[in-house]
Structure 1
Amino acid sequence: MPTTVLDGIATRYEVAGSGPPLLMFSPGGFDSTLESWRTVGIYRRLRMLDHLTEQYTCVTFDRRESGESGGRLERISWPHYVRQGVALLDHLGFQQAYLMGGCVGCSTVAAVAVAHPERTLGMVLYSPAGGVKYRMKQHARFLTHLAYAEEHGLAQVVALARGTLAGFSADPRVGPWASVLRRDPEFAARYAATDPARYRLLAGGTARLLFDRDTVPGPEPEDLLTLDVPALIVPGQDDSHAPSAARYLQECLPRAEFWDVPVAEQTEATAPERVLRFLGGA
């Protein structure tokens, strides 16, 4: 699959299908890879990507610090993810596109739409990540990682990450830069040599910036309330995809359609058709 440099970070991506462009922000948390649309949870069951590529040019990619994309040791916030996605549109020559997010990808979709409404034709927010338990779970992961780094040192974090295939979600000790540590020896050397106090600020600041509320993280509600972009919201139904998170987006987005269907009734026969129907009318 092709790789390009976006915002200074190597990014692996794939373009499939034909029709209007649909930029897709993957589910999977800190393991948000382009394969996630075919392998993770409900998206595997729905075969969503297979259906969407029949009518749209679907652009999928590994989020920075995920899969085979690179990363940078810095305090990460939602605008960093926005820059990566918009730079990919620029690289492919798309002035405008539909956007779709799954899980945590919904936060970046909303953030892109707020920052670049003129480039956003419509957005699908499928099973948005959020809720009280989601925030608590994310902060607990960072605390576990920082405790391990404090006790064993960053060089041992590198060794641990390289000795396993587990990502940050499965084993918080490896931290959010685990995939880059495995793939990039130069990055791993710089990471291991980072001042521990500085690292605590970067990692702790990332947790605070990304997961700062008990609903869907990302853009401020006042920005969503003034956003003139059509949206389809499809609710999730577990601790990481609280129904309240989807309802929050419904409350904030003036042009939102809410598909009020339980997860068990979101099937391959119904869900792709509903998404395609929205995109066709957005």
Structure 2
Amino acid sequence: MRVFSSDGVDIAYTVDGEGDPILLIHGFASNAATNWKDTGWVRWLTGNGFRVISFDNRGHGASGKLYEPDAYTGPVMAEDARRLLDHLGIARADVMGYSMGARIAAFLALTHPERVRRAIFAGLGANMIHGVGDPEPIAEALLADDPAAVADANARGFRSFADNTKSDRRALAACIKASRDRIPGEDLARLTMPVLVAVGTVDAIAGPAQPLAEAIPGARALDIPGRDHMKAVGDRVFKDGVLAFLREKP
């Protein structure tokens, strides 16, 4: 991976393929490789004529680690994405984010709408507006000495995922405390670019796609049948739906 400095924070990124640029923003406790390469997204998009830019969010993967929650708000992390486009000389790109990455993509689209040609909010539906719950159990699970002692099943799942991705758990604990910003529906109503909301139909973390799509003028929902938060990421229905959306004329 290459590295650039985003206001003093090292951000690791890769660029694959040629064609129209699409920026991919991964989810919490993941990284660019796990979220986008291992699931076949980079191969799928480059094979269909896109230039794919993926990066490790701050606190994740090979990017810089910080240990204060204020370093991980949605707007702050969206600026890393914007600075990466600046660094690469890309004036405007399609943007797809998954879960936490969808929230970051939404902040990027709200703050810098001129930089986002089309947006795909995946792995986060109605709960982008309503919130996804108390982050403290997850933070505590990430910092626990013994993961077997974590009682909360959802928190234990995130701890297991963080261990599997060999993440810096202290950085992730700081991140989870600040990166779940709710975005009011009236703010999302200001978006004017084409938006696709893609969520698994049994994804309890994300909430359903349709309410989020209804909050954004002209947006549409893509249901990924029978998939939960983890299994929706690489689903073929998801890939086909996104490709059809990207091939439409803006």
1:258 aligns with 2:221: yes
| Contact 2:196 2:219 (C-alpha < 8 Å) held by counterparts | yes
2:50 corresponds to which of 47, 56, 65: 56
Q: For residues 127-149 of structure 1, give each alpha carbon's deviation from its aligned partner in whole angstroms, at most 9, with x where no partner exists.
A: 2277489423x331224567x6x
**1:50 Cα deviation after fit:** 1.4
**Based on CA coordinates, which of the two structures has the bigger radius of gyration?**
1
* Match of residue 239 from structure 1: 204
Q: Measured at CA, do residues 32 and 249 of structure 1 come closer, stay the same or move farther in structure 2, by a change above 3 Å?
A: farther
Q: Measured at CA, do residues 36 and 269 of structure 1 come closer, stay the same or move farther in structure 2, by a change above 3 Å?
A: closer
* Match of residue 60 from structure 2: 66
- Letter in structure 2 aligned against 1:128: L
* Match of residue 138 from structure 2: 141
Aligned counterparts of 1:268 and 1:238: Cα–Cα separation in 2: 13
Q: Measured at CA, do residues 129 and 5 of structure 1 come closer, stay the same or move farther in structure 2, by a change above 3 Å?
A: farther
* Match of residue 36 from structure 2: 37
**1:18 Cα deviation after fit:** 1.1
1:78 corresponds to which of 74, 83, 92: 74
Unaligned runs of 5+ in 2: 146-155
Aligned residue pairs total 225
- Letter in structure 2 aligned against 1:222: E
- Letter in structure 2 aligned against 1:179: D
Higher strand share: 2
* Match of residue 224 from structure 1: 188
Aligned counterparts of 2:125 and 2:66: Cα–Cα separation in 1: 24
RMSD across aligned positions (CA) = 3.3
Mean Cα deviation higher: 224-233 or 72-81: 72-81
**1:260 Cα deviation after fit:** 3.3
Q: Measured at CA, do residues 269 and 32 of structure 1 come closer, stay the same or move farther in structure 2, by a change above 3 Å?
A: closer
Q: Measured at CA, do residues 80 and 103 of structure 1 come closer, stay the same or move farther in structure 2, by a change above 3 Å?
A: same
Higher helix share: 1
Aligned counterparts of 2:123 and 2:243: Cα–Cα separation in 1: 16
Q: Measured at CA, do residues 135 and 85 of structure 1 come closer, stay the same or move farther in structure 2, by a change above 3 Å?
A: same
**1:53 Cα deviation after fit:** 1.1
- Letter in structure 1 aligned against 2:37: R
| Contact 1:233 1:259 (C-alpha < 8 Å) held by counterparts | yes
Unaligned runs of 5+ in 1: 149-155, 157-166, 183-201
* Match of residue 88 from structure 2: 92
Query: How does the TM-score come out when normalised to structure 2?
Result: 0.77
Q: Measured at CA, do residues 206 and 173 of structure 1 come closer, stay the same or move farther in structure 2, by a change above 3 Å?
A: closer
**1:110 Cα deviation after fit:** 0.8
1:210 aligns with 2:175: no
| Contact 2:74 2:180 (C-alpha < 8 Å) held by counterparts | no
Query: How does the TM-score come out when normalised to structure 1?
Result: 0.69
Q: For residues 165-194 of structure 1, give each alpha carbon's deviation from its aligned partner in whole angstroms, at most 9, with x where no partner exists.
A: xx99316999xxx62979xxxxxxxxxxxx
1:125 aligns with 2:88: no
Percent sequence identity is 26
| Contact 1:31 1:66 (C-alpha < 8 Å) held by counterparts | yes
